[in-house]
Amino acid sequence: MARVIVIGAGLAGLATAVRLAKLGHQVTICEESERLGGALGRVEADGFCWDAGAASTTLPAALRDLFRKSGRPIESLVQLEPITEPRRHLFGDGSILDLPVGDRGAQAEAWTDLAGEKAAQRWTSLVDGYGETWQILRKTSLEPPLQDRLPLKAILALKPWQSLQRVAQRSLDDERARAVLRYYATQHGSDPKLTPGYVGVWSYLERTFGRWTVQGGFSVLADALAQRASERKIDIHTNAEVVAVTTDSGKVTGVRLADGTELPAEIVVSDIDPRDLYGQLVDDPAAKKVRRKVLSTHQAQAAYVVHLGLKDPVPDLPFETVLHGSPAVVVRTGGQAPAGHQAWSVLVHGYPTDDVLDLLVARGLHIRDKVVSRQTSASWLAGVAWEGYRTARRRAANVSPVKGLYCVGAGAHPGTGVPATTLGAAIVADAVGKA
């Protein structure tokens, strides 16, 4: 049995902690804030409740595996629910696309209605092709630790040198379809021109596995993981800022808190920004090379988030609506509200020069006089920005060259989003192994 300290109690930190505790290790969580969950938080005001960060996910098997491998099935604590409404796309020319998720035929029909059969065929063929991409990524990157070098066959199939923008231009002849594909980079705070084309695999994952939310809001997932941590006898310290990871000759010895407390450990798992970890917390010669690599990355552009409580009647929108343009704006309607009201969350991907309400009105959503509550949550951080395909090698690996140190979360491999961070936690648990 190893003594394990997890720095940060976001989704990845909690997921790693409960997995390692189930494997028989003695686990302690140190969280700087008062609440567990990170981006799985909630905002409550004036009778409304909104998800502060993540509100849905694809690849639900990753969450199911997490709960099964840490104790009882997810259904014992959380009810995953499929999102059956299409994602709405509003384009600058005024056209509207209601694009279903989880249904190949329905997607083709939606594109045919909007842009004709040829455009629909091109979209379907492109997403079909991402099926092979998914299998390669799953086998080489998402389930095992990141390899030093991928097999040549895999590299040739992935074509990492082709940007998502380039793939859109080559494979799609309708500008609206190109905008939809580019959105898979934009939603994670990256430029499609600098994002590898294989990131479009998320279009395949959504079409194949659907998109899912949680009954009662996605923040319920954080509550469920906190309960699972309690069941697994994990020692949880909130308001506990870690200021150093202590090491000796390239090996972890524990952490030091802001109040001077030293906590010994054989294993430290970091769920904080790797740039902070290697730039400020770890001072060991073994980390020199990885420090230089990680510090060469840049943070993805965070989404500016405003939560609106609205009185009825308001426009009838699906769970998620993407307002294409500059900046891209996303409206989510899955919040909880008093009778006769609606709870919207508005995410601005870009540098807003106008007020959120002005942006909505300019895109045709005239709800200014409907606002009865307005709250701003912390910007939703999105991990590492893509700056070409080599970014994948500069992102922090899950297994550090410092013995006993591991990295999870949006800034580490395999990347941002609920499925990726959950898979990263599984990689670390497998690397550490049973007590």
- Mean pLDDT over 137-156 rounds to 85
Q: Give the HSE-up count for residue 99: Cα atoms under 13 Å, Cβ half-sphere.
A: 28
What pLDDT does 99 receive? 98
At the second CATH level, the architecture of 304-376 is 2-Layer Sandwich (3.30)
Token pair in block for residue 146: 């990141």
Give yes or no for residue 353 having a pLDDT over 80.
no
Q: Which residue has the higher pLDDT, 377 or 21?
A: 21
What pLDDT does 141 receive? 85
Give yes or no for residue 151 having a pLDDT over 90.
no
Place of tokens 């941002």: 416
pLDDT confidence tier of residue 303, bands split at 50, 70 and 90: confident
What pLDDT does 39 receive? 82
> pTM of the predicted model, to two decimals?
0.94
Give yes or no for residue 233 having a pLDDT over 70.
yes
Equal CATH topology for 3-40+60-81+218-299+386-432 and 304-376: no
Contacts 24+ apart (CB under 8 A), 189-192: 189/299, 189/300, 189/301, 189/302, 189/303, 189/349, 189/382, 189/383, 189/385, 190/300, 190/301, 190/382, 190/385, 190/386, 191/385, 191/386, 192/163, 192/164, 192/165, 192/168
Tell me, what DSSP letter sits at residue 170? H
Q: Give the HSE-up count for residue 337: Cα atoms under 13 Å, Cβ half-sphere.
A: 20
What pLDDT does 38 receive? 86
Task: Give the pLDDT confidence of 157-180 residue by residue, as tens digits.
Answer: 999 999 999 999 999 999 999 999
pLDDT confidence tier of residue 378, bands split at 50, 70 and 90: low
Judge whether 108 and 116 are in contact, CB under 8 Å.
Answer: no
Q: Rounded to whole angstroms, what are the CA distances from 52 to 10, 38, 222, 304, 381?
A: 13, 9, 12, 11, 11
Map out the domains of the chain as residue ranges: 3-40+60-81+218-299+386-432, 98-210, 304-376
- Mean pLDDT over 111-125 rounds to 98
Task: Give the pLDDT confidence of 80-112 residue by residue, as tens digits.
Answer: 999 999 999 999 999 999 999 999 999 999 999
One DSSP character per residue, 313-377 reads P-----SEEEE-SSSEEEEE---B--TTEEEEEEEEES---S-HHHHHHHTT---GGGEEEEEEP
What mean pLDDT is reported for the chain?
94
What pLDDT does 382 receive? 67
**Whole-number Å distance between alpha carbons of 50 and 53:** 9
Range picked from 47-56, 254-263, 300-309 for highest mean pLDDT: 254-263
- Mean pLDDT over 24-29 rounds to 98
Q: Of all residues in the chain, what percent carry a pLDDT higher than 90?
A: 86
**Whole-number Å distance between alpha carbons of 323 and 309:** 19
Domain 3-40+60-81+218-299+386-432 homologous superfamily, CATH: FAD/NAD(P)-binding domain (3.50.50.60)
- Mean pLDDT over 207-223 rounds to 93
Task: Give the pLDDT confidence of 265-283 residue by residue, as tens digits.
Answer: 999 999 999 999 999 999 9
Give yes or no for residue 381 having a pLDDT over 80.
no
Give yes or no for residue 150 having a pLDDT over 90.
no
Give yes or no for residue 357 having a pLDDT over 70.
yes
**Whole-number Å distance between alpha carbons of 308 and 313:** 14
